Amino acid sequence: MEPVNDESIITASDLLVKYDRVIALDSFSVSLPQGIIGMLGPNGSGKSTFVKVAMGLKLPDRGTLKINNMIPWMNIDFLRDSIGYMPEYDCLIDELNAITFVSYFGRISGLTKEDSIMRSHTILDFVGIEEERYRKIASYSTGMRQRIKLAQALVHDPPILFLDEPTEGMDPEGREEMLDLVSKIGKSGKTIVICSHLLHEVEKVAEHIVIMNEGKVINSGSIEKVLAGEKETVQIRLNGDPKDIKSFMDYVLKHFSIINSKTSGGKLYLVIKGLESDREFFKIAKEHSLQIRAFRPHVRNLEDFFMMSFEGGE
């Protein structure tokens, strides 16, 4: 886990949050820099509770949380002005049209009527809602509803955004477009916290990853570090007789640390750690009458990192 630093936009330290007897966040400490942050974890891991604490909706039983060096529940109005929130679930007013809905929440955020309407048009253009903005929200598809939720979070131009499952219920094309939007918003200098359980989507846009489970941060780091993998870790594909593969595996198990392995008939896929000499490995494979068909440094994806974090690695 990366240490807390002064450039962090959001820092949580030793947070404990309980709902009656259920512990939602436990010794939760994290430091989030500016950029797009992917907050990953299974359902019930505490992602939404963290957002509620950040918005000052829930007071922690212990610990502190600071956003831009301010404690949410002590500077609630100022901080909520700087936060945009897109909830996971449907929360739109079906009787209104998009422009009325977005400008209404713009006005609630303190914009004047004129500014709010102008800004709503700009934001709806940005999220790709065209003429449909004058239709009642009740007639919108799931994808359009997600865009409206994003638009209301952006209408007052907050520097920090909390997006809870932003692609929920969208088709693949819609998901891509939503991720593009998030990426564009991120490039404008805003800090975006995406709570999600869709790893491949977060991997596409996030610059920083936080993995949570049972109310605790179990791993975190910048996406480059997370996906860089480890030195002396390689992935290898070998062909040969199943008997030879078995004896080779016995040897490998004794001498290397195996991260991943798969056998299928006469094929073996391995990810191993601690390989000091490539030449030595080739020699041993030859001794077991196996052909090396692929040998390259291991490139990790977010799913590997996620699984490894859950298994207690790194």
Partner 1 sequence: MVHGFTGMILILTPHAELTAEMLIKEGEFGSYLTSGLFAIFAMLLAAGVSSDKIAQDLRNRSFILYFSRPISFVSYISAKIMGAFTVMAFFCIVPPLVIGSLIMATQTGPYYSGGFEVLFRTLLAGSVASFIFLPFGIFLSSITKSKAYAGIGSFMSFFVMTLIGELFSDLSYHWKLVNPVNILAYIFDWIYGFGLPEYVSHIYMIMVLIIMVFLPLFGATVNIKIKGVSM
The residues of the shown chain that bind partner 1, judged by CB under 8 A, are: 19, 52, 55, 57-58, 76-78, 80-81, 83-85, 87, 89-94, 105, 108-110, 152-153, 156
Rounded-to-integer distance, Cα 285 and Cα 265, Å: 17
β-bridge partners, 270: 236, 261
Q: Tell me how far, at minimum, the Cβ of 42 lies from partner 1, in Å.
A: 19
Angle at 217 between CA 211 and CA 219, to 5 degrees: 55
CB of 137 to partner 1, least distance (A): 9
CB atoms within 10 A of CB 288: 19
User: If DSSP states are collapsed to H, E and C, what string results for 202-257?
Assistant: HHHHCCEEEEEECCEEEEEEEHHHHHHCCCCEEEEEEECCHHHHHHHHHHHHHHCE
CA 288 to chain centre: 43
Write b or e for each residue in 160-184: b if 16 or more Cβ atoms lie within 10 A of its Cβ, otherwise e: bbbbbbbbbebeeebbebbbebbee
Of 52 and 288, CB closest to partner 1: 52
Write the DSSP symbol of residue 97.
Answer: B
**Minimum distance from CB of 52 to partner 1 (Å)?**
6
Between strands 22-32 and 10-19, the pairing is antiparallel
